[in-house]
Amino acid sequence: MKVNNREMTEKPKMYSILIVEDNFSDYETIKRLIAAFDFKSEVKHAKDFEEASFILASEDKFFDAVLLDLTLPDIDKKEVVTKMLDLVFFSPIVVLATIADEEMSLKSISQGISDYVIKEDLTTAMLYKSIVCAIERKKIFFSYEMAKTRYSDLFHLSPLPMWVYDLGTFQFLDVNDAAVNNYGYTKEEFLKMTIKEIWPVEDYSIFDEGVNSFSQYKENLKKKYLRHKKKDGKIINVEIQSNIIFFNDQKAKLVMANDITKQMQYITTIEDQNKSLKEIAWTHSHVVRAPLAKMMSIVDFMKESDEIPAEYQDLWSHFFDSGTELDTIIRDIVKKTETINKI
């Protein structure tokens, strides 16, 4: 019996199928049914789970489909599906079940198998349909359209501005809503611009140096700190991460921009405060302590003088001690400000 498949005939392909079946008679039956298909196939046989594991680990190509018997001699049938799914990724699994195992086969679909067939009722058409549909479903799952959908969700729902630009022309190819909201340009305006146009004019030399460097092709995901210009002319500081991708068959770069202007302003404020503290420390150290030192020298001289009445000696001692205490306080302030400046 031949099953018609015009598309397969027009695009001949060798399909590689692994049959994991411990019953040799069942294996021969399944192999004979596959031979009746109108596409070329290469069938490999594993008589138990251990042999299947070895084949799947050593093959230099992926199988187009794996046909799996649930009752293998070296593994519990409650574990065989889970264990086999761990061994394959791109290959769809079609379970070869008996009528007694039909309920378990249905549960296996929720675990990740593509389909199941009942051995007792198996026909060429039934097996053909199950294998082909499993292969096509897997193709769709890993297709570009699926990847594009996932990219689109991550891209457009990101709270951070993101865009894609052509590596040859630097033209914007796509931007997300966060970029539109943050930079002030409409999406239509973005798509008529190059990325250079969101740079301040005074930074053009940095841009030209960067795009003419080979590092733009190899420094993927490396953080860079740049300045950008919004539509209203406001300059912002941004942290950039990027990666090379293919976008509509074009070599492009995907960019994520995090506005760190407030953080930079905060850092600048802290630096200004540290500068002020440093000036205060210098003032205390040189301007205040200098006259204080002179004053204490005079007091010390007066204490040692024989001309000072005895009743004033205690007063001069208290005056000297107060000056020493004040000097200690100033020294502590200087030390603390120096410590802050080192942080």
Q: Which residues contact 179 (CB under 8 A, 6 or more apart)?
A: 161, 162, 163, 190, 257
Number of domains in the chain: 3
Model confidence pLDDT, tens digit, residues 78-107: 899 999 988 886 789 999 988 878 888 888
The boundaries of the domain holding residue 197 are 147-259
Model confidence pLDDT, tens digit, residues 237-246: 999 998 888 7
Is the pLDDT reported for residue 10 higher than 60?
no
Which domain-ending residue is among 86, 117, 142? 142
Identify the pLDDT of residue 310: 64
Cβ atoms 109, 116 nearer than 8 A: yes
**Assigned domain for 1 exists:** no
Helix or strand holding residue 126 (H, E): helix 124-141
What is the pLDDT confidence band of residue 8, given thresholds at 50, 70 and 90?
Answer: very low
What is the pLDDT confidence band of residue 343, given thresholds at 50, 70 and 90?
Answer: low
Provide the CATH number for the domain around residue 160.
3.30.450.20
What is the pLDDT confidence band of residue 229, given thresholds at 50, 70 and 90?
Answer: very high
**Listed residue (79, 141, 135) closest to 111, CA to CA:** 79
Cβ atoms 108, 83 nearer than 8 A: no
Cβ atoms 176, 191 nearer than 8 A: no
**Assigned domain for 66 exists:** yes
CA 191, 245, 147: angle at the middle one, nearest 5?
95
95 phi/psi in degrees, rounded to 5: -80, 135
**Listed residue (124, 76, 129) closest to 104, CA to CA:** 76
User: Coil, strand or helix: which one is 249?
Assistant: coil
Residues 272 and 205 in one domain: no
Which domain-ending residue is among 226, 259, 292? 259
Residues 326 and 215 in one domain: no
Q: How far is CA 19 from CA 48, 50, 180, 232, 244, in A?
A: 10, 13, 54, 66, 40
Residues 112 and 24 in one domain: yes
**Listed residue (141, 131, 139, 170) closest to 37, CA to CA:** 131
Residues belonging to the chain: 343
**Listed residue (183, 149, 146) closest to 163, CA to CA:** 183
Higher model confidence: residue 137 or residue 278?
137
Higher model confidence: residue 68 or residue 302?
68
What is the pLDDT confidence band of residue 6, given thresholds at 50, 70 and 90?
Answer: very low
Cβ atoms 94, 117 nearer than 8 A: yes
What is the pLDDT confidence band of residue 1, given thresholds at 50, 70 and 90?
Answer: very low
Identify the pLDDT of residue 173: 95
Is the pLDDT reported for residue 73 higher than 60?
yes
Scored b (16 or more CB within 10 A) or e, 103-129 reads: ebbeebeeeebbbbbbbeebebeebbe
Pairing of strands 250-259, 235-247: antiparallel
**Assigned domain for 20 exists:** yes
pTM over 0.85: no
Q: Measure the CA–CA gap between 133 and 135, rounded to whole angstroms.
A: 5
Pairing of strands 172-175, 162-166: antiparallel
Identify the pLDDT of residue 199: 96
Identify the pLDDT of residue 7: 43
Is the pLDDT reported for residue 265 higher than 60?
yes
Q: Which residues contact 35 (CB under 8 A, 6 or more apart)?
A: 41
Is the pLDDT reported for residue 216 higher than 90?
no
Which domain-ending residue is among 94, 127, 142? 142
Residues 138 and 160 in one domain: no
What is the pLDDT confidence band of residue 66, given thresholds at 50, 70 and 90?
Answer: very high
**DSSP string covering 168-208:** TT-BEEEE-HHHHHHH---HHHHTTSBGGGGS-GGGHHHHH
Model confidence pLDDT, tens digit, residues 168-196: 899 999 999 999 999 999 999 999 999 99
Residues 233 and 300 in one domain: no
**Assigned domain for 308 exists:** yes
